[in-house]
Amino acid sequence: MSDHILVTGGAGFIGAHIVQRLVKEGHRVRVVDNLSTGNLQRLTDVISTIEFTEADLADPLVCDRVVDGIEYVVHQAAIPSVQRSIRDPITSNCANITATLNLLESCRNQGVRRLVYAASSSAYGDTAVLPKREDMPPNPLSPYALQKFVGERYCGLYHDLYGLETVSLRYFNVFGPGQDPNSEYSAVIPKFIKGLLAFQPLIVFGDGEQSRDFTYVENVVQANIAALHAEGAVGRVFNIAYGERISLNTLIGTLERIIGVKAKVKFEPTRNGDVRHSLADIHLARSILGYEPNVGVEQGLKKTVEAMTTTIGS
């Protein structure tokens, strides 16, 4: 049976992948995106089959309008950058907290069945304890991390106080085709791939031994789809990751092997707000959501390199 689903930030990297999957599964999809970091080209294949609104969720009237008639919401809209939030905390606060609160209020007032929220593993901060479990105390180290955690708590409160079904998914370092390599705030994997393909130096902040639980985007899409209907998930928070970690130096070595180019690496001082090590415990998502990350890091890197090579070559 098809549902009427709103995807916020649906022209963003992760949002667009979710939109494409929902359309493929036959759902009616509405997308709202202010295109500040989103790009409509990501939706070229499905734009004729969805309802698209260019607008900003920081405006409560926009939230009321786009939520009207909607059964489920997949809330991906955000300004997703630690460093950008450090430079401009006010703008990111508006996108990450104000917009989320407006959206929750519209969902509550209009009887939305469930909202799935894109939370962030940055909420954990730089804990020495690994893997990171959902019951660990949060310790956000940047405005972005704090904002995403506040959004997560608002989701929990809207469930506890008003009965709105919410599920929060803490993403760990998502990567894949369609991720923008060109911004100074871009994630490390598309930047590294672009640099290797162009024979440019790769910038590493720190010694390169910091590690991440890199998570291919198809796994994250699967988690969002599962969270829309999973029993026992409501009001809870789930780690969404692959469940293994690799260092940036190992990542570079893997990309060198895939692309067939030797990297020139330039090491820079560690940046404020960056976490040293990240690794998720994904047992809860497996048991409650039925989540199973089917695409491993190396397989995902190969798919990403192939997609970026095609894009750069076209």
- Residue 105: which CATH number? 3.40.50.720
Neighbour-count burial for 92-114, b at 16+ CB within 10 Å, e otherwise: bbbbbbbbbbbbbbbbbeeebeb
CB 120 within 8 A of CB 14: no
Predicted local confidence at residue 312, as pLDDT: 57
314 pLDDT higher than 60: no
302 pLDDT higher than 70: yes
With respect to residue 256, please indicate whether it lies within any of the assigned structural domains.
no
With respect to residue 194, please indicate whether it lies within any of the assigned structural domains.
no
Q: 237 is in which domain, residue-wise? A: 4-175+216-243+279-294
With respect to residue 204, please indicate whether it lies within any of the assigned structural domains.
no
CB 304 within 8 A of CB 189: yes
With respect to residue 239, please indicate whether it lies within any of the assigned structural domains.
yes
Question: Is there a cis peptide before residue 181, judged by omega within 30 degrees of 0?
Answer: no
Average pLDDT (120-134) is 93
Distance (Å, whole) CA 276 – CA 290: 29
How many Å from the N-terminal Cα to the C-terminal Cα in the chain? Answer: 38
Please write the tens of the pLDDT for every residue from 23-70.
Answer: 999 999 999 999 999 999 999 999 999 999 999 999 999 999 999 999
- Determine if the pTM surpasses 0.85: yes
If you average pLDDT over every residue of the chain, what do you get?
Answer: 95
With respect to residue 187, please indicate whether it lies within any of the assigned structural domains.
no
Average pLDDT (78-90) is 93
With respect to residue 289, please indicate whether it lies within any of the assigned structural domains.
yes
Average pLDDT (145-151) is 98
Question: Three-state SS across the chain?
Answer: CCCEEEEECCCCHHHHHHHHHHHHCCCEEEEEECCCCCCHHHHCCCHHHCEEEECCCCCHHHHHHHHCCCCEEEECCCCCCHHHHHHCHHHHHHHHHHHHHHHHHHHHHHCCCEEEEEEEHHHHCCCCCCCECCCCCCCCCCHHHHHHHHHHHHHHHHHHHHCCEEEEEEECCEECCCCCCCCCCCCHHHHHHHHHHCCCCEEEECCCCCEECCEEHHHHHHHHHHHCCCCCCCCEEEEECCCCCEEHHHHHHHHHHHHCCCCCEEEECCCCCCCCECCECCHHHHHHHCCCCCCCHHHHHHHHHHHHHHHHHC
Closest CA to 122 of 154, 86, 95: 86
Residue type (1 letter), 15: G
Distance (Å, whole) CA 3 – CA 23: 10
With respect to residue 303, please indicate whether it lies within any of the assigned structural domains.
no
Number of domains in the chain: 1
With respect to residue 261, please indicate whether it lies within any of the assigned structural domains.
no
Residue type (1 letter), 137: P
305 pLDDT higher than 70: yes
108 pLDDT higher than 80: yes
